[in-house]
């Protein structure tokens, strides 16, 4: 029997991530090849004509799974009945801008969209915030949508996770699909800590630790970390635009694994509400290693954290606490 369609909201759908993301959703990349979807696309009035153009292209592409498209500049219409909300809309960082420069613009957007989601989304709607500063926007959304369970509000660090997998695969000349269990700790910013201490590679003679195969601690604690931390800025420098296809693909990975589950023995990184695990202050949206089952994420517990890692975990937590304070100062 055919499944009922799932309603997926994409805010900022006329932007460049939106343009890469909506066809992926309509093709079943996010929710599976047998899951019909209805797309709700929100943007602001100056982008209304472009948004309508995206709707026309979705119709023209004749996606078999796509059972309807709403293209609107009305947040209430966009949020009504949605089961999944991917919050991409916002003010992007441009070359030379610090992420904090865009804070005040984005916190007011996330405050008002939190209310629309809280009042009009389907019960148990899963929310993924992509727009930067992603962790703090998600925190603002959580604060202003108190009836949405905090476990349902997350932010995207899967792109950073995938970047780390990509760097290891290039270094070792192995398939990216054979590398697993890297971790992104903390903020989706240049203080994030890409950690390979528990990562492995599937080889013809079994699973081997990444650290052993790389055998170059200086790279793992130096160039590897900075490359992943700075990858977003490097892409902005090269494209004069922030990453879009990789962000869209990683957003699909995030929701797919959250809804359909992570493979046995594999974890992924998600920005989630901290419960104090690994001595990360509670009350921040912080990226942790998680496994997902039956539509729920769970922080992987019991991983050893060495002294080098501890400092990195604390540094990115400090930045998030500062961002939280800054966000609150923008609200008053």
The phi and psi torsions of 34 (rounded to 5 degrees) equal: -115, 15
Binding-site residue numbers are 12-18, 43, 93, 99, 106, 130-132, 163
Q: Which two tokens stand for residue 111?
A: 């405050």
188 carries an active-site annotation: yes
Q: Which of 145, 156, 270, 284 binds ligand NAD (CB under 6 A)?
A: 156
Distance CA 245, CA 16 (A): 8
Q: Which two tokens stand for residue 40?
A: 């709700």
Q: Catalytic residue, from 161, 188, 198, 254: name it.
A: 188
Q: How far is the CB of 286 from ligand LMR (least distance, A)?
A: 16
Footprint of ligand NAD on residues 174-203 (CB under 6 A)? 188
Cβ closest to ligand NAD, residue 129 vs residue 292:
129
Cβ closest to ligand LMR, residue 6 vs residue 248:
248
Out of ligand NAD, ligand LMR, none, what residue 235 binds, judged by CB under 5 to 8 A for its kind, is ligand LMR
Binding-site residue numbers for NAD(+) are 12-18, 43, 106, 130-132
List, in sequence order, every residue forming a beta bridge with 179; answer none if it has no partner.
201
DSSP character string of 79-137: HTT-SEEEE--S----TT--GGGGHHHHHHHHHHHHHHHHHHSPTT-EEEE-SSSHHHH
Q: Which two tokens stand for residue 54?
A: 């995206």
CB of 102 closer than 8 Å to CB of 133: yes
Footprint of ligand NAD on residues 77-106 (CB under 6 A)? 88-90, 92-93
CB of 211 closer than 8 Å to CB of 197: yes
Task: Tell me if 131 contacts ligand NAD by CB under 6 A.
Answer: yes
Cβ closest to ligand LMR, residue 186 vs residue 232:
232
How many other β-carbons are positioned within 10 Å of the β-carbon of residue 104?
A: 14
Out of ligand NAD, ligand LMR, none, what residue 17 binds, judged by CB under 5 to 8 A for its kind, is ligand NAD
Distance CA 72, CA 82 (A): 14
Q: Which two tokens stand for residue 264?
A: 């046995």
CB of 31 closer than 8 Å to CB of 256: yes
Task: Tell me if 14 contacts ligand NAD by CB under 6 A.
Answer: yes
Cβ closest to ligand LMR, residue 58 vs residue 155:
155
Binding-site string for ligand LMR from residue 199 to residue 238, where x marks contact by CB under 6 A and - marks none? ---------------------------------x--x---
Out of ligand NAD, ligand LMR, none, what residue 156 binds, judged by CB under 5 to 8 A for its kind, is ligand NAD
Binding piece for ligand NAD, criterion CB under 6 A, among 128-136, 170-178, 193-201, 315-323: 128-136
| Biggest CA-to-CA distance, the chain | 59
Q: What residue ranges bind ligand LMR (CB under 6 A)? A: 92-93, 99, 132, 159, 232, 235, 242-243
Q: What residue ranges bind ligand NAD (CB under 6 A)? A: 11-12, 14-18, 42-44, 47, 88-90, 92-93, 109, 130-132, 134, 156, 159, 188, 242-244, 247
Catalytic residues: 188
């Amino acid at each position: 029997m055919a499944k009922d369609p799932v309603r997926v909201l994409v805010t900022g759908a006329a932007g460049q991530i939106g343009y890469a993301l909506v066809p992926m959703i309509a093709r079943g990349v996010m929710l599976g090849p047998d899951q019909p979807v209805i797309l709700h696309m929100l943007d602001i009035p100056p982008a209304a004509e472009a948004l309508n153009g995206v709707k026309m292209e979705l119709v023209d592409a004749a996606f078999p799974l796509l059972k309807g498209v709403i293209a609107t500049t009305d947040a209430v219409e966009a949020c009504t009945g949605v089961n999944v909300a991917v919050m991409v809309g916002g003010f992007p960082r441009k070359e030379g801008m610090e992420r904090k420069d865009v804070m005040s613009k984005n916190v007011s957007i996330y405050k008002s969209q939190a209310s629309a989601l809280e009042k009009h989304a389907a019960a148990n709607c899963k929310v993924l915030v992509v727009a930067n500063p992603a962790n703090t926007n998600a925190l603002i959304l959580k604060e202003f949508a108190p009836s949405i369970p905090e476990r349902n509000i997350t932010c995207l660090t899967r792109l950073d996770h995938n970047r780390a997998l990509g760097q290891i695969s290039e270094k070792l000349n192995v398939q990216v699909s054979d590398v697993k269990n890297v971790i992104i700790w903390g903020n989706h910013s240049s203080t994030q800590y890409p950690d390979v201490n528990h990562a492995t590679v599937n080889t013809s003679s079994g699973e081997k630790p990444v650290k052993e195969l790389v055998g170059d601690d200086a790279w793992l604690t130096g160039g590897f970390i900075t490359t992943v931390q700075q990858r977003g800025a490097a892409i902005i420098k090269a494209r004069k635009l922030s990453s879009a296809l990789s962000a869209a693909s990683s957003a699909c990975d995030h929701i797919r694994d959250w809804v359909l589950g992570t493979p046995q023995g594999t974890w992924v990184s998600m920005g989630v509400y901290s419960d104090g695990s690994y001595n990360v202050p509670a009350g921040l949206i912080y990226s942790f290693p998680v496994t997902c089952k039956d539509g729920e994420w769970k922080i992987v517990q019991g991983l050893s954290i060495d002294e080098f890692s501890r400092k990195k975990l604390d540094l990115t937590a400090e930045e998030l606490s500062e961002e939280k304070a800054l966000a609150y100062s923008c609200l008053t």
